[in-house]
Structure 1
Amino acid sequence: MASTQSTPHTTDQRLTELEIKASYADDLLDTLNAQVARQQEQIDLLLRDVSRLRQQGGDDGGTHAPSSPRDELPPHY
């Protein structure tokens, strides 16, 4: 049987380990939140870029005919 003196030490040790794990979990959560925020900023920037490109190219999805026969030639001609 375990003595009553070792129980408080074991409880303190377990509590310390739990506090350490909670600290690591908090740090990981903060890191992940920062990463998600950076990714959202990148997504917003990319959406603005795509919108701008659509406006510049006309929003026809690339189905328009080339404006001149020369535009139909491959780049090596």
Structure 2
Amino acid sequence: MSDDKTLSDRIDALESKLMFQDEAIETLNKTITEQWLKIDALTRQVLSLSDRLQEAEANTPGAANEPPPHY
């Protein structure tokens, strides 16, 4: 009888741990998904800003290495 109770307690403990692990995995999965979406949005924003900077540099009048007019 004692062995049955011990076995039942061990199974209950394992089921409890499994439930906690399932919840932890689901929470981590949601967190990773949210972070991936943010990383993707930031990557697109950096690429857009890089393109805009290249356009601005290309449209800058005069060479960047010319001395100022008072020289």
Fold-level match, TM-score > 0.5?
Answer: yes
Q: How many pairs were matched up? A: 62
Letter in 2 for 1:19: E
Higher relative contact order (CA 8 A, sep 6+): 1
Aligned counterparts, 1:1-77, within 5 A = 5-58=1-54, 65=64
For structure 2, the residue ranges without an aligned partner over 5 or more in a row are 58-62
Secondary structure in 2 matching 1:65: coil
Question: C-alpha separation between the residues in 2 aligned to 1:18 and 1:31?
Answer: 20
C-alpha RMSD of matched pairs (Å): 2.4
The answer for the alignment partner of 1:75 in structure 2 is none
Question: C-alpha separation between the residues in 2 aligned to 1:6 and 1:65?
Answer: 87
For structure 1, the residue ranges without an aligned partner over 5 or more in a row are 70-77
Q: Deviation above 3 Å: which 4+ runs of structure 1?
A: none
Q: TM-score, normalised by structure 1?
A: 0.71
Query: In percent, how many aligned pairs have the same letter?
Result: 32
